[in-house]
Amino acid sequence: MNVAERPMLQSVGDGIEATRSAWSFGGSVAETFDEHVRRSVPGYDAGHELVLQISDFFVHDDSVCYEIGSSTGTLIRALAERHAGRGSWIGVDIERAMVDFAVRRNEGSRVRFALADACRFDYQPCDLVVAYYTVQFVRPRDRQRLVDALFQALNWGGALLLFEKVRAPDARFQDLCTGLYNDFKRGHDFSPAEIMAKSDSLRGVLEPFSSAANVDMLRRAGFVDVMSVFKQVCFEGFLAIK
């Protein structure tokens, strides 16, 4: 491929640029990530608050707690602050730029960050795992193995909080969801060009499962008690207890 044929970088908003089928959380994305994702995901802050509230039922003095795909560390730091003096808090992320940013931003906090592939990480026995819109970026062929590993790491009575973008159950509802989601992004000041560029960049990178497929995946891992705790059109949060 010569220079003229290479995909061009296009703005997806908030100073972030990406090319087709090549969305990445690396580079300078961390600098504006929190604002970008807040404008991109309906109920993002409300979901954070719900995670904090649910964590009260599972965190103990000696608990080990993980966030998978911890990005800038915003959520796991809030969890550690809510449970001041209780538990050990570990954020796992595969992007060095994100981990470096999170370490700088959370200096002095009780959170530790690990630069690692969550699918191959050596988890300690734990009481709480949060995966907040991150497993959807794991390749489908690896996704079950990750959830299996999280189930095995959880202590009996521990919980996985899995928030994901989800596909609708049929084509008619998917069209409706796509339209509503595009309306949401336009309402948060993304231009049509930025919306299309972001969609193009996520091709083959973000692969959502349906609600039913996510529940099936959790049950195959061994979870029996699974409940939907958050839902806003095509964004859903599941609580799975071991």
Q: How many CB atoms lie within 10 A of CB 130?
A: 26
Pairing between strand 235-241 and 225-232? antiparallel
Is the pTM higher than 0.85? The answer reads yes
Q: What share of the chain is helix, strand, coil (3-state, %, to 5)?
A: 45, 25, 30
Q: What percentage of the chain exceeds 90 in pLDDT?
A: 80
Question: Which pLDDT does position 220 carry in this prediction?
Answer: 98
SS3 129: strand
Check pLDDT > 90 for residue 27: no
Number of domains present in the structure of the chain: 1
Looking at residue 7, which CATH number applies to its domain?
A: 3.40.50.150
Phi-psi region of 71 (alpha: psi -120 to 50; beta: other; left: phi over 0): left
Instruction: Report residue 24's pLDDT band, with 50, 70 and 90 as the boundaries.
Output: confident
Question: Which pLDDT does position 25 carry in this prediction?
Answer: 81
User: Which one, of 93, 41, 37, lies nearest residue 230 by Cα?
Assistant: 41
**Largest separation between any pair of C-alpha atoms in the chain:** 58
Write out the residue range of the structural domain in which residue 112 sits.
Answer: 3-241
State the DSSP H helix or E strand holding residue 149, giving kind and residue range, or none if neither.
helix 140-153
Check pLDDT > 80 for residue 130: yes
In sequence order, what are the residues at sequence separation of 6 or more whose Cβ sits closer than 8 angstroms to the Cβ of residue 20? 7, 200, 201, 203
CA 96 to chain centre: 16
CB 79 within 8 A of CB 112: no
